[in-house]
Amino acid sequence: MGLLPHSSPPHVYASEYYKKDFIKFNERFGVREFEFKSLVPQLYLPPFMRTKLGYKTHAFVSLPVLNPKTPVNVGFDSFKLMDKHNDMAAMLNEMTFSEDYPSFYLLNVGETHYPYALPDEPEDLWPRISGVHGVFKHLDDHIVGGKLVEEEGEKFFDQDKLDQLYERQITAVKYLDKVFEKLFDLVPPNTYITVTSDHGELFGEEGYFGHGPIMHEKVFEVPFVEGKLR
């Protein structure tokens, strides 16, 4: 939406903070006087970059909740749901850059999302939670006459299992470090790369696992790393 993760400074008006935040976009895009009103009326970066700055905008998404039929697909020249939810390397194989115009790529990476699986891991080795796999296909099977049919739920993970899932996510991050090295080699000079996420993940803290539907401080902790390749 034009805003990236940010700090929470005390005794500062939001308007003052956002002024400083938007100044950074002048450097990222190589333009002058980028202001909030530049995004009006859509308040969304992809169409702004495409129509006003001449960018070619592309998106590769891993998770079906962001498929091309969703509202996220606005302002993109191309928008593709990948064949696998956990193969960022496949995205790199489809990225191209032209000397005639700047490019913007949105890469929605799925390796670090549950079940924290690498591309070459057979699906029968993935951890499984009842209701998570095929939830959209089979959720209606549990609703009769507008009411939920209660079933005996599975026992929650013990801490050993949660620790195993935690280690799986760490393994996925280490694997993606290598994929990002390939990304750095692929993009042209003067490219900004931003790494962030949409939520944090719980692995047993206060009895929780995952990220939803949970209101917990850990869920709202997200990474934010930005760097420029010169």
What pLDDT, in 10s, does the model give residues 12-71?
A: 998 888 888 888 888 888 888 788 888 888 888 999 999 999 999 999 999 999 999 999
- Has residue 201 been placed in a domain? yes
- Has residue 38 been placed in a domain? no
- Has residue 198 been placed in a domain? yes
Residue 38: which residues within 8 A CB-CB, separation 6 or more? 48, 52
Q: Which of 64, 52, 7 is nearest to 25 (CA)?
A: 52
Q: Which domain holds residue 176?
A: 44-229
Count Cα atoms within 13 angstroms, Cβ side, for 209: 17
- Has residue 203 been placed in a domain? yes
Mean pLDDT of the residues in the chain: 88
- Has residue 17 been placed in a domain? no
Residue 148 has pLDDT above 60, yes or no: no
3 forms beta bridges with none
CB-CB contact of 202 with 149 (8 Å): no
Share of the chain above pLDDT 70, in %: 88
Is 0.85 topped by the overall pTM? yes
Residue 36 three-state SS: helix
Q: Which of 61, 58, 89 is nearest to 182 (CA)?
A: 89
User: What is d(CA 133, CA 174) in angstroms, rounded to the nearest whole number?
Assistant: 25
- Has residue 29 been placed in a domain? no
CA distances for 20 relative to 62, 180, 203, angstroms: 32, 29, 36
- Has residue 31 been placed in a domain? no
137 compared with 154, residue with greater pLDDT:
154
Number of domains composing the chain: 1
- Has residue 4 been placed in a domain? no
pLDDT recorded at residue 205: 94
